[in-house]
Amino acid sequence: MTRRVLALCGVFALWAPCVATVGAQAPVVTPGNDYALAPNWLCRPGRSDACAVDLATTVIAANGTLTREAWTANPDAPIDCFYVYPTVSRDTTPNSDMIPGPEERGVIREQFARFASQCKLYAPLYRQISIPALFKALSGAPVPMDRVLAYTDVRDAWRFYLEHDNNGRGVVLIGHSQGAGVLTQLLHDEIDGKPAQARLVSALLMGTNLPVPQGKDVGGALSHIPLCHTATQTGCVITYVSFRAESPPPLNTKFGRVAAPGMVAGCVNPAAPGGGSGALQSYFATGGGASAGNLFDIRNAWLTPPQPIPTPFVSVPGLLTAECVSSDAGSYLAITVHPDPTGPRTKTLAGDVVIAGQVKSDWGLHLIDMSAAMGNLVGIVGTQSRAFMAARGK
């Protein structure tokens, strides 16, 4: 397993360039998690847990008018959603522990809890590669990290879910960054071309470079699961990495390109799966970026003059559009800001990775890959759920 995961990590691109461990060294055997234990899950149906949070939203119109948008979960949702969170752990060890911190709970609120309007939520804790370990790797001083452990934790949680919880229901896999990379491997190993594929409503894999042959939608990382082309298509993948339209991936980009010959990074626009441009329905956390464990501050000045936002989320209809672009720069979701020059609403968008005061253009809008399109993604899952159930005669 160790050699196989290391061989594939460059293809599946968990979140950044693969850092190899010493191949001659015997892998350390770490005991697996028991996913029958409730504390090993951040979210499960019927509990008051990380997914039971306030998702009320202040909608800011272009003229500055504020409207409160309520939100409710659907306790009778006909399908499930299985989520693997991105790199958020601030544990000082290379792999995180199994004790959730505010960063794990925060990213659930920002990236996953809203899907409860369409599906029943499952989110396992896993011993992911931590932010300190990632930074050391990116600085050229990598520490030993166990990618196999991160993957096998999620695989074990998935197998437990299938055996004890699924009961033949349709399921959507949702992941971002490291989580999307882990789910790509899970799809490859456990679902693609196997009996479990019949239960796949879709997979939402954001912030990862999913290889597909140029001009095709299947045959790269996955042999039997294609990219989605409509919101009603099921058994398919929605994937993208986002950049500002005016700032495409640079030569040193971490996202938007794959190294394998003849392959490109898959891109499906959640605002227009069939192609072209579409309006993004964004939901941004008003207190900063939980998706980065609050390591990066992505708060925005939503109005001028400033007004307090009384809800944990804000939406800015009409401000953003997106379109998949394939060029020499890469294959990516290009996001355009459409400000009202005379209105009081923000005319800019925060979301760049900034380190030591410098914008890291090679990361694009990685921090807000999901937030910028959250309403579109939730809507697609709802549409796919209805199509999936209709195909089953329900």
Q: What is the pLDDT of residues 255-286, one digit of tens each?
A: 999 999 999 999 999 999 999 999 999 999 98
The residue among 267, 196, 202, 189 whose CA lies nearest residue 237 is 202
| Largest Cα span, the chain | 64
Inside any domain, residue 15: no
Check residues 141 and 67 and name the one with the higher pLDDT.
67
- What CA–CA distance (Å, rounded) separates 179 from 161? 17
Contact 248, 312 (CB under 8 A): no
Domain range for 276 is 36-391
Instruction: Give this prediction's pTM.
Output: 0.92
CB 333 within 8 A of CB 323: yes
82: in domain: yes
Whether 28 is in a domain gets the answer no
Q: In 3-state terms, what secondary structure has residue 313?
A: strand
Q: Which residues pair with 345 in a beta bridge?
A: 303
Number of domains in the chain: 1
Q: What pairs with residue 202 in β-bridges?
A: 172, 236
Contacts of 120 (CB under 8 A, 6+ apart): 45, 77, 79, 80, 81
Does residue 31 lie in a domain region? no
DSSP H helices, 67-164, are 102-111, 131-138, 147-161
Whether residue 315 lies inside any domain: the answer is yes
Structural domain includes residue 174: yes
Q: What is the Cα–Cα distance from 131 to 226, expressed in whole angstroms? A: 32
pLDDT band at 288 (very low <50, low <70, confident <90, very high): low
Alpha-carbon span 284 to 366, nearest angstrom: 14
For residue 7, what pLDDT band results from cuts at 50, 70 and 90?
very low
> Which tokens go with 284?
């941004």
- Give CA angle at 380 (379, 381), nearest 5°: 90
From CA 203, how far away is CA 173, in angstroms rounded?
5
**pLDDT tens readout for residues 31-88:** 899 999 999 999 999 999 999 999 999 999 999 999 999 999 999 999 999 999 999 9
63 domain residue, yes or no: yes
Question: Is the CB of residue 329 less than 8 Å from the CB of residue 248?
Answer: yes
3 within some domain? no
